[in-house]
Structures are given as C-alpha cells and as structure tokens.
Amino acid sequence: MKNIFINKTKTILLVLVSALLGLFYTKAQNKIAIHPMIFVGYNYQNANFGEVGGRLLFLKKDNIMYRLGASAMLGSPNGKFAVIPKLQGDVLFNFQEDKTLNHSYYGLIGVETTNKYFAPKVGLSFFGILDFTVGYAFQIPNQTVNDKSLKGVNIGVNLNVPLSVYQK
C-alpha cells in the first residue's frame, strides 16, 4: 500500500514538472509573462504551521493564471519542532471581462503535496495577493510528523508578495 502512494506522489511530481516545462515552452511560443513571488502564511493541517516559500505566476491574459511553488511548513506538532517541504500548483480564474471590483477576486483550484500527504484544495484569491484555501489531505501511509497524522481538512491563508514590482 505504501508503494502505491509513493508511486502516486512521484507521478504527481512528474506532472507538475511536465506542466512547468510545458509552460516554459508555451512562453517562448505565446509570450506568457512569468512573475516571481515570495509568500508567507498560515496553514492548519491537523496542527498549526507557518509557511514560507516562493512561487512563479504564469499568465497570458489576466482571466486565467497558473502558479507553481515550493515552500517549507514550520510547526510543532506534538510539541516538537518540524519542517516539512511542500510543492504546490494552482490555477486561478475569473472570467469577468470588466475593469471593476468584479475582476479583483479569482477562484482557485490547486493541489499540494509533501512527503507526508497529498491534498487537493479550492479557495479564493483577492488580487492574486491574498489567498484563502480549504482542502482535504490524504496521508501517505506510515508517514507522520512527531507521531501525529496530518490527514484531514486543511485551511490556509497566504500573503503573496510579487517581486516583479521591485525590478527595474
């Protein structure tokens, strides 16, 4: 059973890497803009975690955006400090064609994976800067953090800081 989840995790990572390579190829063909971001946030995953990481935002138009990122979750499940690496991918969408506040929020569908769990998620992103997500984590068998299972509902709040505004 453990090998099945490890193989699924490897498959998911392969899909994320393939998507990234596909986006770079598409960028060369269709002039997709890439914006680097750093982010900080809070993640409840059967324990409280702070999160810090980086993301790349890919967009051609502003009605659909793609994000790929890597981060570290920092927390103390069962009273002992732990760091968990995490990979994630999101699609943000808003099909409103106007320039009003109706276009300031995006629906968010994504997936995140660690060496402990795999979790699909949904949420809202305001201006692509403030994200609120909820999902459900499926634990990889026999993988715990300080003897604590991380399966179940997860809730996240992240603040994204685009680095492109600081470039000359």
**Residue 63: what pLDDT?**
82
Tens digit of pLDDT for each residue in 156-168? 999 999 997 766 5
Query: Which of 168, 160, 88, 78 is CA-nearest to residue 120?
Result: 88
Query: Which of 52, 42, 70, 53 is CA-nearest to residue 156?
Result: 42
CATH number, domain at 50?
Answer: 2.40.160
Tens digit of pLDDT for each residue in 15-73? 666 665 665 555 455 678 889 999 999 999 999 999 999 999 998 877 888 999 999 99
Token representation of residue 11: 């498959």
How far is residue 82 CA from its own chain's centroid? Answer: 19
Q: How confident is the model at residue 153 (pLDDT cuts 50, 70, 90)?
A: very high
What gap in Å lies between CA 89 and CA 10, rounded to an integer? 15
- Domain containing residue 87: 2-166
- Is pTM beyond 0.85? Reply is no
The total number of structural domains in the chain stands at: 1
